[in-house]
Structure 1
Amino acid sequence: MKTTLAILAAAGLALSAPAVQAKSVLVTYDDLDLGSVAGQDALSHRIDKAAREVCGHQRGGTRNLRFDMATRACFERAKASAGTEMAARVNDEAMGG
């Protein structure tokens, strides 16, 4: 059974910086009980933190609207992708796997 989720930032980040590289972070959850709400909440928090890290998205934003919009879009895509993986892991846990 996998005990990590990969949070991957899209390489197509709409920034003017040359050669934007994709970045990924592994999120572990082997210490969590995904059958419990507390475990699921903890994993969701880890995913949120990792998505912010890979996308460079800060809660307060910057003064660069284009950058803020791009990092927010990246963050939302990363969270959605990881959320799908998380749902599969929670489902596996519920099925006894």
Structure 2
Amino acid sequence: MMKTALFAAAAALATVVTAAPVMAKDVLVHYGDLDLNDAKDQKTFARRIDRAARKACEYPSNGRLPDGHSVRCYRQARAAGENQMASVLDQVRLGG
């Protein structure tokens, strides 16, 4: 069974009061192919979260400078993803 985590960037942004509308998307991050007891695979998981946050916030990857909204969105989405990753790792450590 493929394990995935849904990183809801929009939900993370909802806790922050901003004048601009939230433009983030939900992104699935697959980790079923990783051994989360292995530090190398944990780093792979973190990279996937980073890519998912960039994708959810339409953070430019073509060398262009991101606008302020994209930067805020990316930072908050990544923090939310890292929190979810910590929960997954805690479950792995507990044998779940």
**TM-score, with length taken from structure 2:** 0.77
Aligned partner of 2:87 in structure 1 is 88
Within the alignment, does 1:8 sit opposite 2:18 as a pair?
A: no
| TM-aligned CA distance change 1:95 to 1:20, over 3 Å | closer
Aligned partner of 2:58 in structure 1 is 56
The size of the alignment, in residue pairs, is 90
Q: Deviations over 1:18-63 (max 9, x none)?
A: x76541110010000111111110000000001101101125443x
Aligned partner of 2:46 in structure 1 is 44
Q: CA deviation at 1:2?
A: 8.3
Aligned partners of 2:51 and 2:19: how far apart in 1? 21
Q: CA deviation at 1:68?
A: 1.5
Query: What fraction of aligned residue pairs are identical, expressed as a percent?
Result: 37
Gaps of 5+ in 1: none
| Over 6 Å off, 4+ runs | none
* Cα RMSD, aligned residues only: 2.6
Query: 1:55·1:71 contact (CA, 8 Å) conserved in 2?
Result: yes
Query: 1:61·1:68 contact (CA, 8 Å) conserved in 2?
Result: no
**TM-score, with length taken from structure 1:** 0.77
Aligned partners of 1:49 and 1:41: how far apart in 2? 12
Q: Return the letter of the residue paired with 1:39.
A: D
Larger radius of gyration: 1
